[in-house]
């Protein structure tokens, strides 16, 4: 396993649409292991393949931050099929270190997700997990969470982010 470099806000590769994962391979299994390792290292609850420069519809989620192996979840070609309720809370992104902002998301999200062997399964997430589902799937569509804010707020966040990034 390896900690991979994470692309940051402003990198054009984060804005690309991703392609569906095809047949499962040992290389993909390695990528999944590296994504979990990188997410854990950065103390995140999830990481999408495009964040490490791989434009595939693949992401990992672990809302326990490495505490509970049962909570490790691999999203493969996921599609949101149902959104219910709403939650308002802080959100951050490993590609935008140092920035956390309050964002409204659905409280409960149902996904159609592929398994490694090519079958389809349903995944349901509530609260933090629902937020992680939405956040990671946005990455697969080339969208960062700061893009939900208007241009003025986005500019303020970008200044703050760049100032921090420069140290």
User: Which positions lie near Zn ion, rule CB under 5 A?
Assistant: 93
Please identify, using beta-carbon distances, which residue of 98 and 118 lies nearer to Zn ion. 98
Q: Is 136 an active-site residue?
A: yes
Please identify, using beta-carbon distances, which residue of 8 and 24 lies nearer to Zn ion. 8
Name the residue with the smallest CB distance to Zn ion.
93
Residues 6+ apart with CB under 8 A from 55: 13, 16, 17, 18, 19, 49
Please identify, using beta-carbon distances, which residue of 50 and 106 lies nearer to Zn ion. 50
Residues 19, 83, 91, 136: which is the catalytic one? Answer: 136
Taken as a whole, the chain contains a residue count of 167
Residues 6+ apart with CB under 8 A from 85: 106, 107, 108
Please identify, using beta-carbon distances, which residue of 93 and 111 lies nearer to Zn ion. 93
CB 106 within 8 A of CB 125: no
CB 91 within 8 A of CB 101: yes
Give the Cα separation of 40 and 34 in Å (integer): 10
Minimum distance of Zn ion from residue 59's CB (angstroms): 9
Give the Cα separation of 122 and 161 in Å (integer): 36
Minimum distance of Zn ion from residue 117's CB (angstroms): 27
Residues with active-site annotation: 136
């Amino acid at each position: 396993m390896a900690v991979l470099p994470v692309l940051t806000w402003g990198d054009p590769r984060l804005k690309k649409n991703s392609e569906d994962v095809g047949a499962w391979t040992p290389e993909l299994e390695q990528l999944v292991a590296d994504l979990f390792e990188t997410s854990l290292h950065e103390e995140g609850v999830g990481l999408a393949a495009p964040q490490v420069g791989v434009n595939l519809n693949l992401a990992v989620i672990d809302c326990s931050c490495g505490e509970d192996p049962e909570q490790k979840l691999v999203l493969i070609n996921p599609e949101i099929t149902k959104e219910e309720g709403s939650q308002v809370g802080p959100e951050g992104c490993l590609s935008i270190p140092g920035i956390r902002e309050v964002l409204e998301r659905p409280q409960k999200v149902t996904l159609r997700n592929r398994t490694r062997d090519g079958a389809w399964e349903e995944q349901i997430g509530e609260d933090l997990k629902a937020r992680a589902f939405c956040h990671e799937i946005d990455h697969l569509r080339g969208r960062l969470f700061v893009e939900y804010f208007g241009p003025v707020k986005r500019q303020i966040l970008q200044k703050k982010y760049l100032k921090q990034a420069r140290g």
